[in-house]
Amino acid sequence: MPVGPGQNRALACARHVVHRAASPLCVQRLSLTAVYKDPEALKSPGAAEHDKLTGMTGAPPAGPPPMPPGSLEAWAMETPLATALSDRRRSVDWATWNDRANRLANALEQELGLAAGGRAAVRLRNRVEWFEVGSALAKVGAAPVPVGTRLTADEVAYIVGHSGAQLFVTDDPEMARAASSFRGDALRATILVGGDAPDGVPNLEELIRAGQSVPRVAGPPIGAKNISYTSGTTGRPKGAVRSYTPQQLQALGAIVATINTKLRLGSDEKHLVVAPLYHAAPSFCAQQASRAGGHLMLHERFDAEAALEEMGRGVTSTFMVPTMVRRILALPEERLRTTDLSSLRALILGGAPFPAEMRAPAQEVLGEVLFDMYGSTETGFATMLEPADQVRKAASVGRPLDGVDVLLLDEEHRPVAQGERGVFFIRSPMQVNGYHADEEATAESAHKDYFTAGDVAYEDDEGFLYIVDRIKDMILVGGANIYPAEIEQVLRAHPAVLDAAVFGIPNEDLGEEIKAIVELAPGETAEPEELIAHCGERLAKNKWPRSIDFLAELPRNPTGKVLKRELRAPWWEGRDRSI
């Protein structure tokens, strides 16, 4: 029997407020961050309390304001039984997601002492629990610190300690065991998702069962400091910090609304998640599809055949890095021709440049659904190349989004003329405030209230931007950001190595691959395989050099700095871009 809107709300109330038979949340929705522990707390706030909580002045409205549109709580009330999340293990409807997030939020506070303003380092594969944990943290007023699943225990330990995270959440039992040795005054507990937890490590399901079902509503992240880590030139990751004022949140909302409209996101959304959610871009796209009321279909890892099969079952949107699209297009022609992709409205590209020569073939197979989104962890999405311009402006990253300001500056921070190359600086409500506990790195990347990821670009006479080089050393391997300094540091630790230079060279499948040039210490010998194995013991696999060459002496400028651009140049000769 069909369920009507009124029945939806009644079902939601029955599932959310199991010990409050007449909770006002079932009749009037609340948007204030709170734990409703007694009947008095459920009453409409007075003027003073309203002003304190919302930052607004004047008499409060006649009743509590509605839940924020697009929030988990709103969708759990409107469409409680609709599927919100699914992975290979299970599917979850909106009401269940919200109830589990409520219980987990209460358990995190009451059992583990997490409070508003706290942080939890989250190292999870793409799975339903990624969103359950994130929603619970939002209900507490705490922030997640995403951690890459490829990172080693030493790399994870650094992020946990540097960020000041109070909790560490992982679905890797070995990493949960290793966490006992993590140093950090703030770290209170490790939580294991799935599997058998080591002694003293709570399991996520145990916490959810122990948590009270008292409903909570996630409020706006005003003043909260979110930290996302991106590898830095010092060899250690840098924590990019974001915090928002009410005015910034309003401006951010306007940009996000523009993006969602252009991407044609709707409540019928079926969004395929194949890129790792610890990266900012796929996480942002998934969140927007979810806020539209869509169903997130989560794949732990990318497989071209599996992704195409899923896309043929009604997927409306997805985020992919160019390598993923290339691998789909490389599938047998008959397989591509017989897969119905008519439901696909938006395939968002990011993380690395998409080859200009691939755009027309991609549109022929996928349809006019490609949206390039340029940005970085530090700046957020800044430009968009829409479907109509994919072939006409094939080498471009598009034009700035409404609400985003762009400057192209020379080495003296002077604006360059149209058509000339300059460092790409961005001012946007999405950008970071700076790097956590790293004033020097912040100063290097900031210009007034603009921020740069270190890319070099030029602008054409129609306002389209083209990325042509990078002043920073970042290497893009299959859409993942790899920074050479960390690899160079590991190579220099080998007793036979005097110095090393690491950079990216072209790779037709991955975009770039890692190349190392090594200067051996006097009288020492080493083989490339030996040095690659040395890296393998200390670095995540995607950071291992693909090849290593040797030079008697690395080229240097008068101050002794290695001239890495000279080393890179032969591999990029004859190409229209250097990244």
Per-residue HEC secondary structure of 320-331 comes to: ECHHHHHHHHCC
| Rounded CA Rg of the chain | 25
Torsion of CA 420, 424, 429, 431, to 10 degrees: 180
Q: Are residues 434 and 494 in the same domain?
A: no
pLDDT of residue 24: 27
User: Max CA-CA distance within the chain?
Assistant: 83
Q: Are residues 433 and 512 in the same domain?
A: no
Last residue of a domain, one of 170, 187, 219: 219
Residue 448 maps to a domain: yes
Bridge partners of 446, per DSSP, are 451
pLDDT of residue 235: 60
Question: Over its length of 579 residues, how does the chain's per-residue pLDDT go in tens digits?
Answer: 333 333 444 334 433 333 322 222 232 222 223 332 332 332 333 334 334 433 444 444 444 445 788 999 999 999 999 999 999 999 999 999 999 999 999 999 999 999 999 999 999 999 999 999 999 999 999 999 999 998 999 999 999 999 999 999 999 999 999 999 997 789 999 999 998 888 999 999 999 999 999 999 998 887 778 999 985 444 688 999 999 999 999 999 999 999 999 999 999 999 999 999 999 999 999 999 999 999 999 999 999 999 999 999 999 999 999 889 988 998 999 999 999 999 999 999 998 888 888 899 999 999 999 999 999 999 999 999 999 999 999 999 999 999 999 999 998 899 999 999 999 999 999 999 999 999 999 999 999 999 999 899 999 999 999 998 778 777 989 988 787 878 998 999 999 998 999 999 999 899 999 999 999 998 999 999 999 999 999 999 999 999 999 999 999 865 567 888 899 999 998 887 777
Residue 325 maps to a domain: yes
Q: Are residues 459 and 495 in the same domain?
A: no
pLDDT of residue 61: 43
Residue 230 maps to a domain: no
478: region left, alpha or beta (phi > 0 left; psi from -120 to 50 alpha): left
User: For residue 134, what are the contacts with CB-CB under 8 A and spacing of at least 6?
Assistant: 122, 144
pLDDT of residue 557: 66
Residue 557, classified by CB atoms within 10 Å of its CB into exposed (0-12), middle (13-18) or buried (19+), is: exposed
Q: Are residues 386 and 343 in the same domain?
A: yes
Identify the sign of the CA torsion 94, 346, 129, 250: negative
Q: Are residues 16 and 136 in the same domain?
A: yes
Q: Are residues 251 and 170 in the same domain?
A: no
Q: Which domain holds residue 533?
A: 475-572
Q: What tokens appear for 470 in the block?
A: 């990078």
Q: Are residues 430 and 541 in the same domain?
A: no
Q: What tokens appear for 350 in the block?
A: 């990011």
